Amino acid sequence: MSKAFTKESDADDDEDGAGLPPLPAGGKNYITPQGYARLRAELLNLIDVERPKVVEVVHWAASNGDRSENGDYLYGKKRLREIDRRIRFLTKRLDIAEVADPSAHHGSDQIFFGATVTYANRRGEERTITIKGIDEVDHLAGEVSWISPIARALLKAREGDEVVLPTPGGTETLEVIEVSYPAKVD
């Protein structure tokens, strides 16, 4: 049967946030002002630049006749679905985003959202992480989500405190060495 007469699966719509952890039920989607701006810029780029370009290519390809073997048309339609899916995802996430400015805690030694924390384990191994929103985390840059186990263990602790981190291999005790926040930008 020709693909023209088959219904496309709506299951693709369920993969809007594939690869991202779900938000806690009833929880907020905390995000830094920089993360919010980055997601908003991506959304506007998709809507104003990328999608119109792909629509133009699909329109041109459709005007060439037989669509069943037209690679530009088939790829363009697939790319449009991907763009539309990402637009829906970003719109939903930005609608529920709770922008929290970490610089409000500048000078504090207590750990809140946006803190950069240096901690050490019992073996003396130090590590520095920054607690950010789930939509803006870059693990390679030492950023962790505020809903991650390490962030949950550290939240509300202060410099010099010891916290217990449950791990698959048992519990681990961590000592908070330093807490910092970005300076306020006027």
For position 62, which CATH number holds?
1.10.287.180
Selection from 68, 61, 94 nearest residue 1 by Cα: 68
- Structure confidence at residue 10 as a pLDDT band (50, 70, 90): very low
Instruction: Report the C-alpha gap between 118 and 126 in whole angstroms.
Output: 7
The amino acid present at 126, given as its one-letter code, is E
pTM: 0.76
Residue 154 in contact with residue 173, Cβ under 8 Å?
no
Task: Select the more confidently predicted residue: 153 or 66.
Answer: 153
172 and 124 together in one domain: yes
Residue with the two structure tokens 């719509």: 13
Tokens of residue 41, six digits: 């810029």
Instruction: Report the C-alpha gap between 13 and 40 in whole angstroms.
Output: 21
91 and 109 together in one domain: no
146 and 112 together in one domain: yes
Evaluate whether residue 4 is within a structural domain: no
73 and 137 together in one domain: no
pLDDT of residue 163: 94
The amino acid present at 71, given as its one-letter code, is G
Task: Select the more confidently predicted residue: 69 or 34.
Answer: 34
Boundary-marking domain end, from 84, 99, 114: 99
Instruction: Report the C-alpha gap between 72 and 46 in whole angstroms.
Output: 19
- Structure confidence at residue 25 as a pLDDT band (50, 70, 90): low
Selection from 112, 167, 150, 152 nearest residue 24 by Cα: 152
Evaluate whether residue 50 is within a structural domain: yes
The arithmetic mean of pLDDT across residues 79-101, rounded, is: 94
Overall number of domains in the chain:
2
Evaluate whether residue 1 is within a structural domain: no
Boundaries of domain holding 116? 102-180
Boundary-marking domain end, from 99, 122, 156: 99
